[in-house]
Structure 1
Amino acid sequence: MHHFYNRPEALVSELLEGLAMSANVTLSDHRDARIVMRSDWQPDREGRQQVALISGGGSGHEPAHAGFVGQGMLTAAVAGDVFASPGVEAILAGIRACCGEAGCLLIIKNYTGDRLNFGLAAERAREEGFRVATVIVADDVALPDAPQPRGLAGTLLVHKMAGYRAERGDDLDTVHQAAIDMAAQVRSMGMALSSATLPGQEASSRKTPELGLGIHNEPGVRQVTPESADDAVDQVLKALGRPDNGPWVVLINNLGGCAPQEMQILTRACLERLGRDNVALMTGPAPLMTSLDMHGFSITLAPADEATLEALKAPVQAPHWPTPQTVHDIKTFSPRFSQQPPAGEGQYDNARSQLITRLATTLRDSEKALDELDAKVGDGDAGATVAAGARAVLKALDENQLSTGENARLASELGHLFATAMGGSSGVLLSILMTSAAQQLEDVADWPSALQAGVERMQHYGGAQQGDRTMLDALIPAIEAMAAGQDLEAAARAARSGADKTATLRKASAGRSSLVPEQALDGVVDPGAEAVARLFEALAGDDDSR
């Protein structure tokens, strides 16, 4: 399965049903006439005063055309099979359903099937007494000498112009002329990296980038080799005539297979090259006139005269028409980053400095042993991470950058140090621990209570609990022992017991060990818990710790 389709023969009916379930449209109930019409439209009511607009063609170009049915745009769309024009009877049925005394305008893309079928339907409708006008859109400039250029995404600008004129109550002749004028001004060009995949068929073998494609999977005018998104846009704009005498309205269309990221980058390139001051209004980037999953884009330009801007800015209720945007220079602001608090400006305590030196040295010298443990249950860098934090602490002590005589200031300084010196989640978690503890120490010089508050915040953000094979399995018992009034030796024993117990835990619910098979965890002490156990053993003065 390469696409989320059901049966290929049901594709058109099902996609229209999907639209009708959420949009303010109604569907014809006959498979031979796939007509999507405004739910609020009645030919003997709205159609008496307002010109009806009908477009359509082969399916596979969604959201065109059914997605643009709504107040301010199309009255109805008639859908054929994939890349195939709807039949004359279906189009004629659409005219009968929509056309009132004000008449109707058929907007036709310049493909032979569409011209013939919509044309014959118009002639037969006139024969039945309907007032019908037609406009043919031929905005493709890929073949400048072609006698019949194709109709591409520029058709949508004709929809919008005609829809605006019809909505304000202009008569059929006026709406018709406005559509003709817009069709004469629009020009489009596309490029694709690969062709479309037809439903139920294997992926196309055409994988070479092509310039000047149609929307029915026909080959481009020539093969190209764009080196970047910028280069691709350069080539498309060059084929459009390198317009520099704007201002322009621009429509940037996703042909179906481009990711949103690609479309934004292509938009940036387009606006930079046209000149932001040279673009009065932009529609897209969005999938508007697609070609199934074709990995490509197209750019449509039209002069930004007053009438065009007025029409494009008018609001619509069509479900898939994006609101056009004005273009402007990039606006920037200067973010405020955290300022490192003045370090080492607090009081100094020699005995505590020596203690911290011993603790940091213990962890630095444990790098190899912790890495070996982590290699069995993680990615083998736990020791390096812990050692990086320890070296940062030792360096700060050497440079008198730690206020070892003030509890809250010291905890805050260590929090900032761990966040910047240690990689991965361990540094962030330890920074949360110390930063939260610093807030508690502002009020009470009680390290066990402050550390307990810090552990709570670690658990809140990190999601780990005791028993999940993390550093908490050693840290929580040790802090609880101190909070209960026990001495440091008891805290060290609690930390060691908690760390050793992790070797019996075969299921991890947090950290990298949670991604390791259970059998690989059996008998292996968690490296984070081991680091905490060694820290408390050094704190208790047991220099012979493992």
Structure 2
Amino acid sequence: MQHFFNDTSRVVTDVLYAASHLAPLRIADPQSGVRILIRRDWERDTLGQRQVAVLSGGGAGHEPAHAGFIGEGMLTGVISGSLFASPSMDAVLAAIREVCGPAGCLLVVKNYTGDRLNFGLAAEHARREGLKVAMVIVADDISLPDTPQPRGLAGTLLIHKIAGYHAQQQDSLENIQALAQHACERMASMGMALTPATLPGQARPDRSPELGLGIHNEPGARHIVPDSARDAMSHVVTPLATTLEARGHTDNWIALLNNLGSCSTQEMGVLAASLIDGLDPARLTQFIGPAPLMTSLDMHGFSVTLMATDDAMLTALRAPTDAPAWPGVQDVRQPDTFTPNLVARNGALQDSAPQATNATAALTQVLSVLRDARDDLDGLDAQSGDGDAGSSLVEGADAIEQALTAGRLDTAHPERLFAGLGQCLATGMGGSSGVLLSILMTATATALEHRNLVDSLWQGVERMQTYGGARLGDRTLLDALIPALQALQRDATLTEAAQAARQGAAHTATLSRARAGRAAYVPDSALEGVVDPGAEAVARVFETLARCL
């Protein structure tokens, strides 16, 4: 299974079924053979008496368009066809009959042949029945400048919003049609995709990235090979801006950034930043999205619509609506900045820090042992984790060595030594291990202000357990550290503590079930006979200290 579908022939039916359950809508009886959704509160003989109904629709596969934009202040209803196929004339006419009261009905139609013909023929039949119907055709695509019929893209949603607002204000059909047409003339859209859409049950077409492709998988204006999101956005934004300028619209632009289907949230965020950076901030004043608004199934691409707004249009776009998919309008402005307080990060290190010869020498030996153990520890970690335990410890050792060489690590005062070690590990050692060891050192440093070294190290261990969640027997560095501290608490020598740490590390090879760290996610069989790399590192540290002190 490549996609989460049930029956590929029922995809549209299933989607509309869900929409009708989750929003205040009325849906045409499935037995009718037409796909129509209408606002639940709309009555043509009451609301339709004083408000123009606004209908739109087209082929399915562009979700949330169009059903997601039904609501007060936006669409009255929609008519859906099959995937990428226009609804029939009969379906459109049935929708008009359902919503059109004395105030009339406006059809908002994307400029595709099938939509124009079926909506147009339905409008003619409706007029013969005495219904008051007008139409606006949206042709916002500028990627094919020589075509006599530019396609309708995501800019259609702006027309939905403007027409829906003025309908809510009880403007006349003629006035709403004129305002919608005015908005059409002030906007331009273009799309770009790395891969085309995949129709349910079919293989994805093998095509290279395209600029200016349509929302029905039509070929683009040309193939391009963008080297970054910024480059891709530039290919789209530059002709859009040029088009608006050529029409005499040079300021007060609003941008709509539309996800064509399968761009990740991160990709859309980067594209939004590229769009904002790619336009003059004095021109781009409002922003809609980034969001999936008019998609093309799972097309991996985006489209941008630029519209030059005036006060009336901006009022309409900003007005509230309960249409579930409308994301609202955001102002584009330079962000306010502040200077974060980072003083505490550097507080544990100081220039010309006091040095204790024995402590400095012992620490230097420990750092050397950790560097020499890199390959061994990485090898152990490769069997139970991601193979970087030794490399991460060397990062931490290098950060400590740098502070030690610069004379910024105080080795003469234990509480300042442990605080400095905690800072070096927090900033210089990656991954969760660096954070956990920094917690151990920092909590020990705090406790040293009132306790002896062994009791303070216990305090550090307790904090590690609180934040990290590991316990003795969970196959972590604690399985070597805790036995060593237990020995020291019994007034054992460092040599005896080192032996306890070694025994604890060796015991981890008999533990086939890890309960913390990445090893907790690997099969038990992968851990059998393998010493935990963290415990091994602790054992080597204690053995080094026993030799040096």
Matches within 5 A, 1:53-452: 53-205=54-206, 207-240=207-240, 242=242, 243-244=244-245, 245-337=250-342, 338-341=344-347, 343=349, 350=356, 353-355=357-359, 357-358=361-362, 360-362=364-366, 364-365=368-369, 367-368=371-372, 371-372=375-376, 374-378=378-382, 382=389, 386=393, 401-442=408-449, 444-452=450-458
TM-score, with structure 1 as normaliser: 0.89
Q: What's the secondary structure of 2:330's corresponding residue?
A: coil
Q: Contact (CA 8 Å) 2:36, 2:79: kept in 1 or not? A: yes
Of residues 226-235 and 98-107 in structure 1, the stretch that sits farther from structure 2 once superposed is 226-235
Count of aligned pairs between the two proteins: 539
Mapped to 2, the partners of 1:210 and 1:226 lie a distance apart of: 10
What displacement does 1:224 show?
A: 3.3
Q: Contact (CA 8 Å) 1:363, 1:534: kept in 2 or not? A: no
> Partner residue of 2:516?
510
Mapped to 1, the partners of 2:262 and 2:399 lie a distance apart of: 49
Mapped to 2, the partners of 1:182 and 1:520 lie a distance apart of: 64
Q: Deviations over 1:469-496 (max 9, x none)?
A: 2221111122123334555454344323
Mapped to 2, the partners of 1:345 and 1:324 lie a distance apart of: 52
For structure 1, the residue ranges without an aligned partner over 5 or more in a row are none
Q: Contact (CA 8 Å) 2:72, 2:323: kept in 1 or not? A: yes
CA gap 1:495/1:139 in 2 versus in 1, 3 angstroms = closer
Mapped to 2, the partners of 1:387 and 1:295 lie a distance apart of: 41
> Partner residue of 1:26?
26
CA gap 1:361/1:210 in 2 versus in 1, 3 angstroms = closer
CA gap 1:180/1:391 in 2 versus in 1, 3 angstroms = closer
Of residues 82-91 and 357-366 in structure 1, the stretch that sits farther from structure 2 once superposed is 357-366
CA gap 1:400/1:542 in 2 versus in 1, 3 angstroms = closer
What displacement does 1:421 show?
A: 4.7
Q: Deviations over 1:251-302 (max 9, x none)?
A: 2222223333333333333333331211232222222222222222222222
Mapped to 1, the partners of 2:530 and 2:137 lie a distance apart of: 75
Q: Contact (CA 8 Å) 1:67, 1:320: kept in 2 or not? A: yes
What displacement does 1:82 show?
A: 0.8
Amino acid of the residue matched to residue 437 of structure 1?
Answer: T
Q: Contact (CA 8 Å) 2:348, 2:423: kept in 1 or not? A: no
> Partner residue of 1:526?
532
> Partner residue of 2:479?
473
CA gap 1:406/1:66 in 2 versus in 1, 3 angstroms = same
Amino acid of the residue matched to residue 2 of structure 2?
Answer: H
CA gap 1:463/1:151 in 2 versus in 1, 3 angstroms = same
CA gap 1:503/1:331 in 2 versus in 1, 3 angstroms = same
What displacement does 1:461 show?
A: 2.4
TM-score, with structure 2 as normaliser: 0.89
Q: Contact (CA 8 Å) 1:473, 1:529: kept in 2 or not? A: yes
Q: Deviations over 1:52-89 (max 9, x none)?
A: 11111111111111111001000000101111111122
What displacement does 1:369 show?
A: 5.0
What displacement does 1:504 show?
A: 2.1
For structure 2, the residue ranges without an aligned partner over 5 or more in a row are none
Q: What's the secondary structure of 2:457's corresponding residue?
A: helix
Q: Contact (CA 8 Å) 2:48, 2:103: kept in 1 or not? A: yes
CA gap 1:362/1:322 in 2 versus in 1, 3 angstroms = closer
Q: Contact (CA 8 Å) 1:41, 1:98: kept in 2 or not? A: yes
CA gap 1:276/1:402 in 2 versus in 1, 3 angstroms = closer
Q: What's the secondary structure of 1:58's corresponding residue?
A: strand
What displacement does 1:437 show?
A: 1.2
CA gap 1:335/1:107 in 2 versus in 1, 3 angstroms = same
What displacement does 1:14 show?
A: 0.8
Of residues 117-126 and 49-58 in structure 1, the stretch that sits farther from structure 2 once superposed is 117-126
* Structure of higher CA gyration radius: 1
What displacement does 1:402 show?
A: 4.4
Q: Contact (CA 8 Å) 2:209, 2:224: kept in 1 or not? A: yes
Q: What's the secondary structure of 2:331's corresponding residue?
A: coil
Identity across the alignment (%): 52
CA gap 1:512/1:326 in 2 versus in 1, 3 angstroms = closer
Amino acid of the residue matched to residue 511 of structure 2?
Answer: L
Coordinate RMSD, CA, aligned? 2.9
What displacement does 1:531 show?
A: 3.3
Mapped to 1, the partners of 2:503 and 2:212 lie a distance apart of: 72
Mapped to 2, the partners of 1:386 and 1:53 lie a distance apart of: 65
CA gap 1:424/1:356 in 2 versus in 1, 3 angstroms = farther
